[in-house]
Chains A and B, each alone.
Chain A
Amino acid sequence: MYRYDEFDASLVKDRVDQFRDQVALRISGEITEDEFKPLRLMNGLYLQLHAYMLRVAIPYGTFDSRQMRMLAHIADKYDKGYGHFTTRQNIQYNWPKLDEVPDILRDLATVEMHAIQTSGNCIRNVTSDQYAGAAKDEIEDPRPWCEMIRQWSSFHPEFSFLPRKFKIAVTGAAHDRAAIQVHDIGATLTHNDNGETGFTIYVGGGLGRTPMLGKKIRDFVPRAELLAYLEAVMRVYNMHGRRDNLYKARIKILVHEIGAEEMIRLVDAEYEDIQKNGALGLPEEEIARILNYFAPPAFEPLDETDTSYAEKLNGDLAFANWAKTNIAEHKAPGYAIVNLSLKPIGDIPGDISAEQMYAVADLAERYSFDEIRATHEQNLTLPHVKQSDLYELWQKLTDQGLATPNIGLASDIIACPGLDYCNLANARSIPLAQEISNRFADLDRQHNVGPLKIKISGCINACGHHHVGHIGILGVDRKGKEYYQISLGGSADENTSVGKILGPSFDEHSITDAVETVVNTYLGLREDGETFLAAVGRVGLEPFKEALYGTD
């Protein structure tokens, strides 16, 4: 796995020391909140409803047991014994004290972690496929490229004061698990006809107030030119992006206003310019150096299917149910990708206790080449587990409450922190997720319903990705009361789409019934083997509207 080189380490340390001074000045009153706020945001520190919140980056969602133990240590020592995994492959702590934050950042730095680029108008923490380096359908591991982007964008003077925050996602597989079309830039690793590696580039995707899908602006950028090309996109954005209106400042608005054609023309012109100056071509040695960090672990040569695993599947129904949803196919024969659900029935999506974090660290070390992934669906992944270890691992996960067999099912709900914590929220997200999860607790029922992604945001900022939920739920405020608006048909995979709003919103007492009505309506009209998403695509919103609001 990638380790900071010395340059990085000293930069991070300087940043922590600097922030310690800034916090001291703030507490003594020598600087005002107006002066301090941008500084704390640059270090991932927000003010929420009840306390400060610290957001810690997990670059492209990859971390190891040492880092997980540090996250647990921080939860125990400085916070209230838990953390919350977000849809940005970050972890948030909800109760840090201002004067202790520099100590937290110092502790994080000892395991090469930090809170830089988790906030502010910069290029944020690059996200990726949680199955990177493991997925059977993968062309190549996207993470080396995430890392190169991270190094290029960290502290890049030209890109520290962009018109708005900027999010990049990279994937290396045919099936998109990184939602690249709802990012400012999405890059898909691909091979051209000559078998060379490069990237297809999408720009201008995003959720929030004005959801938009990214437009493809280049079929193939050779891998050595990736940063040069991204630099061209960033320059166009920096020059033409709107700074006069917060709501129009994202690159998606620029692309929408000038059109994809014009965007391509501007980017191509910049790109040519950059190429003329010969800058930013990645030398092959540098590519090789970074690729080397992500060399696959030493997989044992194994049979495609382990016989003991197959026997256990036949012999233990609870295990088989778990394996059915929580395991994905691995590229190495005899291995599997294991998903740890952070969505126990009726519990808080994404929350994890310090004790569980320690347990996951131990299990990753023992069973998964010391690798852990955070997913944008608020779960965790152990990417490289031997099939012959699955049964034992499942038992240990069960003991920790981390083996709920619901990945991709109705109770695997994404929910942002919402009004229970968030200062910007209109309505609560978590209690609604809990209620829906309880409503669909029965596993047979969940299996009958099939793949269903329910995503809940407490306000239009869309941290819960409601626009791309098969069922999306948005919290709205009506005179200080919580209401919820349902949309259907959103999706964030390789066929990304934005959901359509069904109709008038529901209050907190009727929203779960409404969701259940939607699901039951689907069950009544689906054709053989048709998923929820496919059914909505076929019949549209009408039957659902009728079921919810009647025919008038």
Chain B
Amino acid sequence: MAGKSNKTLPPQVLTANQLFDGDVVYWREDGTWAQDLPDAFIFEAGAGIEAALVRAEADVEASKILDPYMFAVSIDEGIIHPSSVRETIRAKGPTVRLDLGKQAA
């Protein structure tokens, strides 16, 4: 299904951790990395994923980021909601320290 759209696939977001401090980052439409989930590009129906992963891999090789991967989200009134608790926590910070991580900013 390379490059083809697949209607049954949920929307997805590409994420990684920044090399410098391990901070969570998200792929933007222009191929740069955003700190915050609302700025992430949403891959609909699988389209464009392979090309983005290739470019992300180049950023791994350029020692900017680590471990890029896709995760599923749902969109509700324009707001991106990760489908797993894990990605929700990555997007915000520890649920037991609301003064730390992205949620604190």
Residues of A within 8 A of B (CB): 26-29, 32-33, 47-52, 80, 95, 97-99, 348, 419-421, 425, 427-428, 430-431, 434, 480-482
Contacts and interface: CB of A to CB of B under 8 A. Distances in A.
Contact of A98 (B22, B85, B90, B102): B22
A420 B93 CA distance: 7
Residue picked from A27, A51, A98, most chain B C-beta under 10 Å:
A51
Contacts of A427: 85
Given A29-B62, A420-B96, A49 B21 contact: no
15 contacts: A26-B19, A28-B63, A29-B62, A32-B63, A50-B22, A50-B93, A52-B22, A95-B100, A98-B19, A98-B20, A348-B97, A419-B86, A420-B89, A420-B95, A482-B85
Residue picked from A26, A28, A48, A421, most chain B C-beta under 10 Å:
A421
A50 B94 CA distance: 8
Contacts of B97: 348, 420
Contacts of B89: 49, 419-420, 428
Given A33-B66, A420-B96, A48 B86 contact: no
A431 B89 CA distance: 13
A92 to B, nearest CB: 13
Q: Would you list the 5 A-B pairs with minimal beta carbon distance, nearest first?
A: A480-B84, A29-B63, A420-B94, A51-B22, A52-B22
A431 B95 CA distance: 8
Nearest to A31: B63
B12 interface: no
A47 B17 CA distance: 9
A483 B20 CA distance: 33
Interface string B50-84: 00000000001111001100000000000000011
**Which secondary structure dominates where chain B touches chain A?**
loop
A421 B94 CA distance: 6
Contacts of B96: 348, 420, 428, 430-431, 434
Interface of B: 17, 19-24, 60-63, 66-67, 83-86, 89-90, 93-97, 100-102
Contacts of B95: 420, 428, 431
A89 to B, nearest CB: 22
A33 B61 CA distance: 9
A419 B93 CA distance: 10
Contacts of A482: 85
Nearest to A30: B63
Contacts of A51: 21-23
Contacts of A28: 63
Residue picked from B19, B20, B66, most chain A C-beta under 10 Å:
B19
A142 to B, nearest CB: 35
Contacts of A32: 61, 63
A427 B63 CA distance: 30
A430 B98 CA distance: 13
Contacts of A434: 96
